[in-house]
């Protein structure tokens, strides 16, 4: 039975090692209710060639807020170690789609979901999958910087602590803050309140907090929309650097941002996936007229 | 319509400003009138209490003779009641509120409970006294004890504690819960590490206000049979007791003038107790606000 936390050695970076971590996570998800045995299909899936297997597979996903049909038959794949951007006009469902990937939406009363989401071949909506373990593997950074009203140190350490981290906490906090490009700015004030930081620093602290639990996937919901241009460029730099270790899905309003940082871009409109292609192609030679109209600013 | 956009503006600035000034005056008068009545009451009581409020008064048992009478048993009774009531009502009330806000699924059952709690907050305290008499004094055979009194007062203030705690939980930003869940926290971990510490100032304010209401309650205690003449100090939760409001009620009913002075002195003591409770609520709130700010 693999334990859910790797020790405090640095994260494995080669694709083979990543696959091993992934199969750990598969067992994690399955063991939610003491049902330890992962089903055959997912066991087979986790031994498939990791270079071709998508990190996230979304199959015919439908989502409702009470009576509002917010996502209509979304099918798409997210590749590992890439930045995937979700773009589209306000209300098109991009944030909803993002929040379906770590089961955040089920915290809202009156929502319904149909369809499948597989992460590393594991059905995250299977009855015996524990949403707590899903969120521990698939972290999230929100639109508004929302650090806990605690010290900087505790903000980063809390997630690791509640997930039973046994390694050197100081080292983990430092590593997470370095990954989020915040360490040099806060290393002398780790034990002062996180609320004293600027908005951009708070958002990078939220990224560090997410990285501290060592997720596989990081979801970002317009992480730079509340920030000034300098803070935004720092966040973008951070995202680009994180790509080698994490799979990143980012929702953004800003098409320049999508074209700057993402490898693949998905365009959503009225709850439907209109087009998903490599970012270069989607912005220069879109297949659909509606995509072209949107990326050239003719509507939306 | 083209024509409608051709109208002119009548600014009437003096008129509008005058109306504003008159309104501000009316609102100020409304505030002042309440405070004046309260101040008159306090000054009047304090003057009447004048010569009676001394160490001997705080430290003596009640007596037929006004100059020997004191409120020690009543003071102890009230403190006992407060302590026991807090021990019973705070855990129950806060736990109920956490369940209703954080766990219960939205639906007709939850709505029914909510409406009932809101209604219970408005039920007259005498009714709680009758309930306490039937349920705790007779049925549970607790007798006319401090425990029966505290249980009755707990019932009385439970709705207030539940409602104010729910308000405190509801006023937290959703981002706080979501960001904790997104790190792989269980519901309980989110509640324990983030929801409760951040809601604590609001919860404390509600609790102290509820206890302040309980300390002044007379009717339910009379109904469950709190004694009016208690020449001993309560030693345990099962002892018979009296409380400050009952002692005040008893003294004001006496024909002799001196006892009115005693009643006034007891009222001053009760007021000081209330003031101390409210002050501690403010201090606790400040403390927790500083805690959660991460200092």
> What digits encode the pLDDT tens for the residues A31-85?
444 443 444 444 444 444 555 689 999 999 999 998 899 999 999 999 999 999 9
Q: Tell me, what's the pLDDT at B3?
A: 56
Contact status, residue A261 vs residue A243, Cβ threshold 8 Å: no
Q: Tell me, what's the pLDDT at A29?
A: 52
Any residues with CB less than 8 A from the CB of B187 and at least 6 apart, and which? B102, B103
Cα–Cα distances in angstroms (integers) from residue A89 to residues A92, A135, A147, in the given order = 6, 27, 28
Question: How many CA atoms lie less than 13 Å away from A182 in the CB half-sphere?
Answer: 30
Q: Tell me, what's the pLDDT at B188?
A: 93
In sequence order, the β-bridge partners of residue A280 are none
Q: Tell me, what's the pLDDT at B252?
A: 84
SS3 B1: coil
Residue in B with minimal Cα distance to A214? B183
Give the whole-angstrom CA distance, residue B189 versus residue A80: 30
Q: Among partner residues B106, B176, B185, which is closest to A146 by beta-carbon distance?
A: B176
Q: To the nearest whole angstrom, how far is the Cα of B111 from the nearest Cα of chain A?
A: 14
* Residue B193 at interface with chain A, using a CB cutoff of 8 Å: yes
> What digits encode the pLDDT tens for the residues B193-243?
999 989 988 898 899 889 988 888 888 888 887 776 777 777 878 788 888
* Residue B289 at interface with chain A, using a CB cutoff of 8 Å: no
Do B184 and A137 make contact, defined as CB atoms within 8 angstroms?
yes
* Residue A110 at interface with chain B, using a CB cutoff of 8 Å: yes
Residues of B with CB below 8 A from A209's CB? Answer: 179, 183
DSSP type of residue B54: S
Residue B116 pLDDT > 90: yes
Residue in A with minimal Cα distance to B184? A136
* Residue B177 at interface with chain A, using a CB cutoff of 8 Å: yes
Q: Among partner residues A104, A144, A193, which is closest to B294 by beta-carbon distance?
A: A193
Q: Among partner residues B179, B181, B295, which is closest to A193 by beta-carbon distance?
A: B295
Mean pLDDT of A222-235: 88
* Residue B191 at interface with chain A, using a CB cutoff of 8 Å: no
B261 vs B85, higher pLDDT: B85
Give the whole-angstrom CA distance, residue A204 versus residue B286: 29
Do B183 and A194 make contact, defined as CB atoms within 8 angstroms?
no
Residues of B with CB below 8 A from A144's CB? Answer: 175
- Most confident of the following: A15-24, A101-110, A252-261, B88-97: B88-97
Closest CA to A223 of A261, A250, A198: A250
Q: Tell me, what's the pLDDT at A24?
A: 43
Give the whole-angstrom CA distance, residue B207 versus residue B100: 17
Residues of A with CB below 8 A from B105's CB? Answer: 109
Mean pLDDT of A213-242: 90
Which is it for the CA torsion B150, B153, B158, B161, positive or negative? Answer: negative
SS3 A44: helix
Mean pLDDT of A93-112: 91
Do B193 and A139 make contact, defined as CB atoms within 8 angstroms?
no
State ipTM.
Answer: 0.81
Choose from B102, B177, B179 for mutation: most chain A CBs within 10 A.
B179
pTM (2 d.p.): 0.79
Predicted confidence band of residue B293 (pLDDT cuts 50, 70, 90): low
Do A107 and B186 make contact, defined as CB atoms within 8 angstroms?
no
B162 vs A299, higher pLDDT: B162
Predicted confidence band of residue A300 (pLDDT cuts 50, 70, 90): low
Q: Tell me, what's the pLDDT at B282?
A: 84
Contact status, residue A272 vs residue A96, Cβ threshold 8 Å: no
Any residues with CB less than 8 A from the CB of A273 and at least 6 apart, and which? A74, A75, A76, A266, A267
Question: In this structure, what are the phi and psi dihedrals at residue A208, rounded to the nearest 5 degrees?
Answer: -60, -40
A9 vs B57, higher pLDDT: B57
Residue B68 pLDDT > 80: no
Report the mean per-residue pLDDT for chain B: 87
> What digits encode the pLDDT tens for the residues B91-105?
999 999 999 998 888
* Residue B108 at interface with chain A, using a CB cutoff of 8 Å: no
| A 79-108 residues with CB < 8 A to B | 102, 104, 107
Predicted confidence band of residue B4 (pLDDT cuts 50, 70, 90): low
Q: Among partner residues B178, B182, B295, which is closest to A139 by beta-carbon distance?
A: B182
Mean pLDDT of A271-285: 94
Residue A263 pLDDT > 70: yes
């Amino acid at each position: 039975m693999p334990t859910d936390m790797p020790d405090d050695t640095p994260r494995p970076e080669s694709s083979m090692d990543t696959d091993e971590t992934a199969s750990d996570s598969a067992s994690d998800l399955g063991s939610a209710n003491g049902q330890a045995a992962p089903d055959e299909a997912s066991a087979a899936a986790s031994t498939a060639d990791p270079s071709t297997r998508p990190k996230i597979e979304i199959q015919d996903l439908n989502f409702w807020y009470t009576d509002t049909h917010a996502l209509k038959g979304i099918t798409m794949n997210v590749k590992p170690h890439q930045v995937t951007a979700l773009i589209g006009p306000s209300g098109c469902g991009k944030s909803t789609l993002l929040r379906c990937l770590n089961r955040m939406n089920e915290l809202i009363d009156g929502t319904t979901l149909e369809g499948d989401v597989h992460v590393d071949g594991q059905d995250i909506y299977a009855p015996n999958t524990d949403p707590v373990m899903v969120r521990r593997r698939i972290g999230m950074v929100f639109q508004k910087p929302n650090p806990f009203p605690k010290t900087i140190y505790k903000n980063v350490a809390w997630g690791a602590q509640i997930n039973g981290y046994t390694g050197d906490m100081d080292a983990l906090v430092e590593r997470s803050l370095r990954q989020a490009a915040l360490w040099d700015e806060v290393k002398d004030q780790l034990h002062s309140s996180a609320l004293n930081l600027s908005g951009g620093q708070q958002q990078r602290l939220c990224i560090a907090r997410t990285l501290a639990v060592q997720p596989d996937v990081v979801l970002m919901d317009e992480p730079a929309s509340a920030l000034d241009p300098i803070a935004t460029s720092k966040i973008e730099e951070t995202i680009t650097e994180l790509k080698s270790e994490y799979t990143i899905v980012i929702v953004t309003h800003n098409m320049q941002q999508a074209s700057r940082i993402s490898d693949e871009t998905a365009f959503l409109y009225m709850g439907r996936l209109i087009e998903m292609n490599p970012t270069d192609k989607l912005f220069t030679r879109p297949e659909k007229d509606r995509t072209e109209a949107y990326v050239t600013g003719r509507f939306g | 319509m083209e024509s409608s956009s051709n109208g002119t503006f009548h600014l009437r600035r003096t008129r509008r400003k005058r109306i504003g000034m008159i309104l501000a005056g009316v609102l100020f008068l409304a505030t002042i009138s309440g405070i004046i009545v309260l101040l008159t009451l306090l000054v009047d009581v304090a003057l009447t209490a004048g010569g009676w409020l001394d160490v001997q008064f705080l430290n003596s048992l009640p007596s037929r003779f006004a100059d020997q009478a004191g409120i020690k048993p009543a003071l102890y009774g009230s403190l006992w009641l407060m302590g026991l009531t807090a021990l019973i009502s705070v855990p129950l009330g806060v736990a109920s509120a956490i369940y209703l806000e954080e766990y219960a699924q939205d639906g007709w059952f939850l709505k029914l409970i909510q409406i009932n709690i809101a209604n219970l907050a408005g039920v007259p305290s005498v009714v709680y006294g009758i309930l306490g008499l039937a349920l705790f004094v007779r049925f549970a055979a607790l007798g006319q004890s401090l425990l029966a009194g505290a249980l009755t007062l707990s019932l009385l203030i439970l709705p207030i504690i539940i409602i104010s705690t729910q308000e405190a939980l509801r006023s937290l930003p959703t981002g706080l819960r979501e960001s904790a869940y997104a790190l792989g926290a269980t519901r309980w971990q989110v509640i324990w590490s983030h929801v409760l510490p951040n809601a604590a100032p609001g919860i404390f304010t509600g609790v102290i206000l509820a206890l302040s209401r309980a300390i002044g309650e007379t009717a339910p205690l009379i109904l469950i049979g709190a004694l009016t003449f208690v020449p001993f100090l309560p030693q345990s939760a099962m002892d018979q007791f009296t409380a400050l409001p009952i002692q005040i009620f008893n003294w004001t009913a006496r024909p002799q003038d001196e006892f009115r002075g005693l009643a006034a002195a007891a009222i001053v003591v009760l007021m000081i107790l209330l003031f101390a409770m409210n002050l501690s609520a403010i201090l606790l709130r400040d403390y927790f606000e500083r805690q959660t700010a991460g200092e």
